Amino acid sequence: MESFDAFVLARSRRLTRTAYLLTQDHALAEDLVQTALAKAWFSWSRIEGGDPEPYVRRIMVNTYATWWRRRWNGEQPTEELPEPTGPDQTDAAPDRTDLWRALQRLPRKQRAVVVLRYYEDLSEAETARILGCSTGTVKSQTSKAFAKLRLDPALLADLPAEEASR
């Protein structure tokens, strides 16, 4: 399994970035990558002949979708809210956090399409293959996602008045 180890060393940072963009949580992103790699390991002899990265990405997207279909997603009720931590709570990059929050408000499939197409720079065909849908679905989900992002109040607040009214 030396080639699997080499793949993990070479691609884990990029896979973790993709997972973070999907989950918006560092711990969940690491769990998602670890789960996807564990699933890929069992099929490694079958997938290592080609490029295994799209296969592992598809496992990540499918696993992410199943996590949110479950009733319980790890949240526990508490008497007091914890103190905010992490990069999303700083004032250092308000535009960036507005974009992250707007992405979080997108439905999961639209968010996955935007992440794979524009953050991972994949083609429509590659994105469709990873998500298991047609390129037409990728195009329509991208269009719907951008339409929602254009109307997101957090992103509209940054535009000058004449641009926001278009």
Q: Where are the domains of the chain?
A: 1-71, 96-158
CATH architecture of 1-71: Orthogonal Bundle (1.10)
pLDDT tens figures, 25-56: 899 999 999 999 999 988 888 876 778 888 89
CATH of domain 96-158: 1.10.10.10
Domains 1-71 and 96-158 share a fold: no
Q: What is the pLDDT of residues 71-87, one digit of tens each?
A: 445 566 777 776 766 55
Phi, psi dihedrals of residue 75, rounded to the nearest 5°: -80, 140
- The burial class, CB within 10 Å (0-12 / 13-18 / 19+), for 58 is middle
pTM over 0.85? The answer is no
pLDDT at 23 over 80: yes
